[in-house]
Structure 1
Amino acid sequence: MKRILASLLILLSIASLFIGAQRISFAELLQFGGEAWELIWISRIPRLVSILIAGASMSIVGLIMQQLTRNKFVSPTTAGTLDSASFGIMVSLLVFTSAGPLVKIAVAFVFSLAGTFIFMKILDRVRYKDTIFIPLVGLMFGGIVESATTFFAYKYNLIQSMSAWLNGDFSMIMQGRYEMLYISVPMVIVAYVFANKFTVAGMGEEFSVNLGLNYRQVVNVGLVLAALVTSVIVLTVGSIPFLGLIIPNLVTMYRGDNLKENLPHTALLGAVFVLACDILGRVIIYPYEVPIGLTVGVIGSGIFLYLLMRRRTYEQ
């Protein structure tokens, strides 16, 4: 399966370089240093790299959150992480008006991490830990944060600015505007290093402590990874809903629950899924473009509903 995903990723990546409002032919590429090469280096390759990083890193973050919470329907979308990062962006636009992107990432990261910790505390106090009830609590918590964000954005006339930041879209990605995504790469490496510890932590605090694992430290590392990756993706690309939820579930359906073995498959499938959705968005109303947040949201919500019904049928 990994070879199939890798082959599909290569084919879609090549296709992505040639799809856009301005057509590029192989004959033009033979003229090295021409206008076609300039377009590829400035726009198409940065866009492709940002798609691959965003798809892989957000999917891995979703897998880690599901492992730590022991719930297949927890992700940055359903745990308030994404909404908390959006609130942090609103605060950075309001308070740090002239600040650079790194400051905005830091502010969004702090709020994203705080929101994720609050969700985990709520999770500890919930007695009825039903598979579907927990993400619904997360959606309610995220809805409260989102409503607060909308209120302050409307009050201080930041609605348009917030919409520009949060609308998932790769069309504006070009050289010099995507490099912050590279912050996600070392986070993915850390996730692979801690994979076995995340697996043990997912079995519960008592079990982890009995095995000599520092449970709280491992959980905190996972939450920091989730918050930082989410903040970077939201600030650079925008919101990509349901990605961290559906991809880990699809992988575990055919691979099982071994986190370390699932990481490469999750990264590959996430990158392939986002790349396929991006290509679909570029060709469906060519030469115009459907934002990636809309295409992933529509397709992802359908898969999410399928997973919900499948889980209910299985439990009955």
Structure 2
Amino acid sequence: MPALLHRPQRSLQHHRANRPAALWLAGGAVLLLAVVSLFIGVSAVSPADLFSGDRDAWTTLLVSRVPRTVAVVLAGVALSIAGFIMQLMARNRFVEPSTVGTVESATAGILVATLFLPGAPIVVKMLIAAVFAMLGTSLFLTVLRRIPLRTTLLVPLVGIMLGGVIAAVTTFFAYRFDLLQTLNTWMIGDFSGLIRGRYELLWIVAVLAVVGYISADRFTVAGMGEEFTTNLGLSYRNTMNLGLVLVSLISAVVVVVVGAIPFLGLIIPNLVSLLIGDNVRRAVPWIAVVGAGFVLACDIIGRVIRFPFEVPVGVIVSVVGSALFITLLVRRNAGAQ
């Protein structure tokens, strides 16, 4: 009997000891996907060309393939963590920037910047998009506090309807001023046009993702409500404002540089939660790794499925993400019954 009683404890300790190893293995898999990504494209680049010193191959690698791969990884990591922060703030598993109006608001901000400041630098457009994203997210959280939530499924429905209204208004003005084609470039995520000199803004989201990791516990506490947060000695308003700034800036930067990549911040945190549980501090590194790997895989699929043509990564992520979103909703609804 004593031996039998100690076996589960040893098994649990062994499982905990292997968690860092599993994370390193997952990181190695992402690195392998990144290496594969470097050698996929219309311009033929192979390891043999690089080792032989082919100047054209090295130019293609350094000017196009490396910036694109780095941008994919940064966008995947940042959007996944932004979605996780949003879920902590709203206390709901089914929200993320593209389902609460944040991305649509950022797109509206870019349209406003294009209309009134067409010659402004991209950094100015990014800041305007971030302000609009912050306003849209604040509006969603305000609406959330004012309506009775009888089921968790109502929260994403409210966010999707709000985002739909914002997107409709944005589309109307884009049509009115003959900017629909320009608007579409921000509504669908696409890495095909990223080269050296056009992706560097995405390093900002890497810094924001680190800040989100450091502050993850604060967002968990803030999600419990203002009274609970204040009792623990934290400023509820400052914590929520920090979350709004992080989510809005991440969404704005990615939309400006890459375009919208929907559902990513929703499905990755939920998948990680199913795999390793709800420990916030342990979940964030996994969310970053899985998010980067998922977007890399979708980007590779988009490049090879109709080679030499390319399907935008936003389309691939939308198809896979919407299917997983419906699966999660059905699973949650079945569990509730």
**Following the alignment from structure 1 to structure 2, what is the Cα–Cα distance between the partners of residues 268 and 201?**
25
Q: Which letter maps to 1:143?
A: G
Say if 1:129 and 1:219 are closer, same or farther in 2 by CA, change over 3 A: farther
SS at match of 1:257: coil
Counterpart residue type for residue 128 of structure 2: V
**Unpaired segments ≥5 residues, structure 2:** 1-21
Cα deviations by residue, 1:123-177 (Å, 9 ceiling, x for unpaired): 1101125211011000000011000000100111111111123321000010011
1:24 corresponding residue in structure 2: 45
Q: Which runs of 5+ in 1 are unaligned?
A: none
CA contact (8 A) 1:282 1:288 kept: yes
Please give the secondary structure, in 2, of the residue aligned with 1:286: coil
Alpha-carbon separation, structure 2, partners of 1:140 and 1:314: 25
Q: Give how far 1:31 is off.
A: 2.4
Q: Output the TM-score relative to the length of structure 2.
A: 0.92
Amino acid at match of 1:32: G
> Structure 2 matches for 1:155-170, cutoff 5 A?
155-170=176-191
Cα distance between partner residues in 2 of 1:274 and 1:241: 11
Residue 190 of structure 1 pairs with residue 190 of structure 2: no
> 1:15-62, CA deviations, whole angstroms, 9 ceiling, x for partnerless residues?
001111122122111123611111000000000000000000000000
1:91 shift after superposition:
0.4
- Amino acid paired to 1:191: G
Aligned mates of 1:254, 1:262 — CA distance in 2 = 10
Residue 42 of structure 1 aligns to a residue whose secondary structure is: helix
Query: SS state of the match for residue 64, structure 2?
Result: helix
Q: Distance in 2 between matches of 1:93 and 1:166?
A: 15
Aligned counterparts, 1:191-206, within 5 A: 191-206=212-227
CA distance in 2 between counterparts of 1:295 and 1:84 reads 22
Partner of 1:59: 80
Contact 1:68 1:202 in 2 (8 A): yes
Q: CA RMSD for the aligned pairs?
A: 1.0
1:77 match: secondary structure: helix
Q: Does 1:38 align with 2:59?
A: yes
How high is the sequence identity, in percent, across the aligned residues? 48
Amino acid at match of 1:58: L
Distance 2:293 2:175 in 1: 37
Paired position in structure 2 for 1:153: 174
Letter in 1 for 2:286: H
8 Å CA contact 1:81, 1:230 repeated in 2: yes
2:275 to 254, 258, 262: 254
Equivalent of 1:89 in 85, 110, 126: 110
Query: Is 1:210 paired with 2:210?
Result: no
Read off the aligned partner of 1:205 and give its amino acid letter. Answer: E
One-letter amino acid matched to 1:90: L
Q: Deviations over 1:56-78 (max 9, x none)?
A: 00000000000111000010011
Q: Higher mean Cα deviation, 23-32 or 272-281?
A: 23-32
Distance 1:150 1:53 in 2: 28
Question: Which has more radius of gyration?
Answer: 2
